[in-house]
Amino acid sequence: MSIRNLAVPGLLAIAIAITGFVACSSEREASAPSQTRVADPSDVIDEQLMVSLAQAKNFHRKAKVYMSDGNLAAATASVRQILSLRFPAGAPEAEDVRLDARALLAKLLVSQGQVEEAMRTVQEGLAQSQRESFFVANLHTVQGEIHEARAAQLDGEGEPSKAKAIEERRAAIAAYDHSIQINEKLQKQLMEDR
Amino acid sequence: MATHDNDFLTGPVPEPEAEATSAERAYAKTFADVVDKTLSGRAPAAMSADDRALIEVATVIRAANGTMELAPSKQRSIIEDALRQAVGTGASTSGSVTPIARGRAKRWVPWTVAAMSTLVAAAAILLLWLRVPTTTVVQAPQAAAVPTSWTSRPADPLIGPIAREHAGDASSRIDYLFADRLDGFRERRLSGGKP
């Protein structure tokens, strides 16, 4: 058989081999992990969330003991530790627990005369919140209390600070109104959901 | 040594220098006539089996020498067919000569098949190369069936609006929240994670 006669079946064999190779490689690509994925189910309560909640609970208990003992500084430090707890990514409880810890922390700071630090704590919490909740509303309530505390301080400074005190009281009313608005909105939503 | 007319093939072999007998000469002459007639197409209708075998051998020897020719009528037919095909008129009557054009076409058939196969292969490669992989999202059936109490979710429905006098009562709220989530967690664990 001459070379010319061998060329035809050879060419056919190469063509079939290339087709087969490509078909096989495409099947391999199809089974790659990027092709088919399972949708994430709703996040269920897992061990990590329970551990984080248990730690927050313990820090609150510790702070309560310190407060009953009159050690506000230690109580403040205990509550601060709640803010650095690690929760499962995306767990809605994390934001609620942190906002509630900030509310208590701000109140502890106000009781220790650290009004500006308390206001910073509240403002950071409001800035970090990603949804409206009763805990956000509560933080607005605490913000109103801080404004009231500021107004009381300004009252003590005499006549020159009277205008600023009035301004703080107006800010307190605005914060309380904001808190009421959020509460009403959420309550309405909950009623509709039921 | 007794001899008979038809015992040449089965009888004893004569000596190399022995003189042919008159009977042998007569038989040789008769057989030569039969051979001549057979080669000219006038074979006798009946002959002995030995004679027929010898005639066949003689025919084969003659054909091997290359002296056999086609009949004049057959020769004429083939030449006329070839000339007719060369000038492109009419079909072959004998069927023994392949037309030049058909011969060329036959030569290109395997190449055409090979080229078509290669084109198909190239098209398949291009198609598979350019094809955009589709992403199929498979919805897990248990996702919708998981009870709400098992899921991580906002604490608003559980806690409700927080009164001003309880603004700093975070300790009791975390206790309540922890207890509720622990219930869901235990429920899920005890049921093996299935609703």
Cα A97 from chain centroid? 9
**Per-residue pLDDT reduced to its tens digit, A110-127:** 999 999 999 999 999 999
**Per-residue pLDDT reduced to its tens digit, A130-175:** 999 999 999 999 999 999 999 999 998 988 889 999 999 999 999 9
Q: What is the pLDDT along chain B (195 residues), one digit of tens a residue?
A: 444 445 666 677 778 788 888 888 888 888 888 888 887 878 787 888 888 888 888 888 877 776 666 777 878 888 888 888 777 765 555 555 566 666 677 778 888 888 898 899 889 888 888 876 666 665 555 555 788 889 999 999 999 999 999 999 999 999 999 999 999 999 988 887 765
Nearest residue on chain B to A9, alpha-carbon basis: B114
Tokens of B161: 């609006």
State residue B32 phi and psi, 5-degree precision.
-60, -40
| Distance to chain B for A160, nearest Cα, Å | 31
Residues A141, B162: C-beta atoms closer than 8 Å: yes
Nearest residue on chain A to B148, alpha-carbon basis: A44
Which runs of consecutive H residues, i.e. helices, occur in chain A?
3-30, 47-68, 72-83, 92-111, 115-128, 134-156, 162-193
Q: How far is CA A147 from CA A156, A172, B114, in A?
A: 14, 5, 89
Q: Tell me whether A131 touches chain B (CB under 8 Å).
A: yes
Q: Average the pLDDT over A175-191 and give the result.
A: 95
Tokens of B80: 């006329």
Residues B146, A22: C-beta atoms closer than 8 Å: no
User: d(Cα A192, Cα A190) in Å, to the nearest integer?
Assistant: 5
Per-residue confidence (pLDDT) for residue A47, from 0 to 100: 92
User: d(Cα B79, Cα A160) in Å, to the nearest integer?
Assistant: 136
Nearest residue on chain B to A189, alpha-carbon basis: B157
Q: Tell me whether A148 touches chain B (CB under 8 Å).
A: no
**Where are chain A's structural domains?**
3-193
Give the E-state strand segments of chain B in sequence order: 136-138
Tokens of A68: 């009953």
HSE, CB side, 13 Å, CA atoms: give it for residue B156.
Answer: 22
Nearest residue on chain B to A60, alpha-carbon basis: B171
User: d(Cα B26, Cα B167) in Å, to the nearest integer?
Assistant: 151
User: d(Cα B27, Cα B50) in Å, to the nearest integer?
Assistant: 12
* CATH class of the structural domain A3-193: mainly alpha
Q: What is the pTM of this model?
A: 0.55
Per-residue confidence (pLDDT) for residue B61, from 0 to 100: 82
Q: Which of residues 138-167 of B touch A (CB under 8 A)?
A: 138-140, 142-143, 146, 150-157, 159-162, 164, 167
Residues A96, B154: C-beta atoms closer than 8 Å: yes
**A65, A95, A138, A140: best to mutate for the B interface, most B CBs within 10 A:** A138
User: Which helix (H) or strand (E) segment is B143 a member of?
Assistant: helix B141-145
**Per-residue pLDDT reduced to its tens digit, B69-99:** 677 787 888 888 888 877 776 555 555 556 6
User: d(Cα B164, Cα B177) in Å, to the nearest integer?
Assistant: 19
Tokens of A159: 């006549």
Per-residue confidence (pLDDT) for residue A158, from 0 to 100: 86
Contact B32, B26 (CB under 8 A): no
**Per-residue pLDDT reduced to its tens digit, A30-87:** 444 444 444 344 588 999 999 999 999 999 999 999 999 999 999 999 999 999 999 9
**Per-residue pLDDT reduced to its tens digit, B52-75:** 888 888 888 877 776 666 777 878
Q: Which of B178, B169, B163, B180 is nearest to A64 (CA)?
A: B169
Q: Which of A83, A70, A64 is nearest to A112 (CA)?
A: A70
**CB nearest to B118's CB, from A11, A34, A186:** A11
Q: Tell me whether B112 touches chain A (CB under 8 Å).
A: no
Per-residue confidence (pLDDT) for residue B58, from 0 to 100: 82
